[in-house]
Copies of this chain bind each other. A is one copy, B any other.
Amino acid sequence: MAHVVPDGFSLAGLHCGIKRNATRNDLSLVVCDGPTVAAGTYTTNKVFAAPVGWDRAHTPSDHVRVLAINSGNANACTGARGDDDCRAMAEAAAATCGATADDALVLSTGIIGEFLPLAKISAGIKAAAAQLGDDEASLVAAAQGMMTTDTVHKLASRRVTAGGAKLQLTGMAKGAAMIGPKMATMLGVVMTDARLTPESAQTALRAAVADSFNCISVDGHMSTNDTVLLLASGTACDAPLAGDALADFQAALDVVCQELARAIPGDGEGATHLVTIDVTGGANRAAAHTIAKTIAESPLVKTAIAGADPNWGRIVSAAGYADTAFDPRRCTLHVNSYLLYRHGTPVGFDAAAVSAAIRDNRDTKIELDCGSGEASCRFWTTDLTAEYVRLNADYHT
């Protein structure tokens, strides 16, 4: 599918020398044609990277001009020097478009605890500014510039008509491990030509993230750098979206964020299955989310799926230790549409058939009905394979 860059933005991505492999992009630049509305959601990790602190202090905003992104170095756990380096990166980005550092946002991802190679980054930002484009190739190059252990770049886009205006939303994201978000996850940037106030942008982004990036997990380890930004140029409409038009925009933003979020466990390190967990019948949304997340993060559930083992006891017992009320006598479990457990007692099922249904499909569907209310949560995770262990035991990342 072709992805279109929303009006008001131009992008570039290139290799500036942070990653050893010179064929891998490690620096991206997003330049706004004019002052742009920006909202952000960030990791809740108390150990947060310098760029998280910077962006948090600079959003919501109505005057963002540029976003600089590097991969290969997270600028996390780098103390006061890390903060200075982040500001220098913002200044370098701002200089390319005659703005000040306070008009610039910064994203970093990669190894924790090493100082940014500022000379390489500054040179990279200048080079990127000289090759900005608004075509799909520029967008892909920028999406690649945020990748770390990702095997594919991740893009999602939608066109939507809202309040009579034809709007474009296009997002890019990265992430394959250290994925256990709470409030936001990893790096994501959604651009749109919709006109939003900073406050409505922030509200819309927070709502979209709650059902997307906050509903994924690879290994449950919350990153120091999780950030999702929404940039709205406003060129497609005369006045800020409100009422039904804002709701239409929200629906499109939700879809884009969910598509990007789902792509992260879809590219999870070593994963052989993308697992969709639908918890229904929850007493409330928070309870359904907690149960889904606890199932998603159980190594025993994840290894069972890797082994195509219809080991439903692991799923039900994980729900049971989730930090919320749960009554096994009311719950019903299906895996890939097979009924495995109903109202607290085992049911007979064809184990070989269920095993084959897991083994032969990359997508696994776990449906747990708690029988305790109307709330639900859809959560995406990976299986856990020996390859995940190998990737994370053998490499210093």
A-side residues, CB < 8 A to B, are 43-48, 74, 76-81, 111-115, 177-178, 180, 182, 219-224, 297-301, 303-304, 306-307, 309, 311-314, 316-321, 325-329, 341, 343-346, 384-386, 388-390, 392-397
Contact = CB atoms under 8 A, between A and B. Distances in A.
A311 B178 CA distance: 13
B317 A76 contact: yes
Given A47-B328, A180-B321, A320-B47, A77 B313 contact: yes
Contacts of A343: 79
B112 A300 contact: no
Nearest to A327: B46
A135 B327 CA distance: 44
B113 A341 contact: yes
Nearest to A297: B220
A177 B311 CA distance: 15
A327 B113 CA distance: 16
Nearest to A328: B47
4 nearest A-B residue pairs (beta carbon): A112-B313, A47-B320, A307-B393, A79-B345
A325 B46 contact: yes
6 contacts: A47-B316, A76-B313, A76-B317, A220-B298, A221-B321, A307-B395
B328 A46 contact: yes
Nearest to A180: B321
Given A81-B345, A112-B313, 18 more contacts: A44-B321, A46-B320, A47-B321, A47-B328, A76-B317, A77-B328, A182-B321, A220-B299, A221-B301, A221-B317, A221-B318, A221-B321, A222-B321, A303-B389, A304-B393, A385-B393, A386-B386, A386-B393
Contact of A221 (B221, B314, B327): B314
Given A112-B313, A385-B393, A392-B299, A46 B326 contact: yes
This chain's copy number in the assembly = 2
B307 A78 contact: no
Contact of A224 (B298, B317, B325): B317
A108 to B, nearest CB: 13
A61 to B, nearest CB: 26
B112 A314 contact: yes
A204 to B, nearest CB: 26
Contacts of A318: 221
A390 B386 contact: yes
Nearest to A307: B393
Given A113-B312, A304-B393, A48 B220 contact: no
B344 A77 contact: yes
B114 A346 contact: yes
Contacts of A224: 313, 317, 320
A273 to B, nearest CB: 11
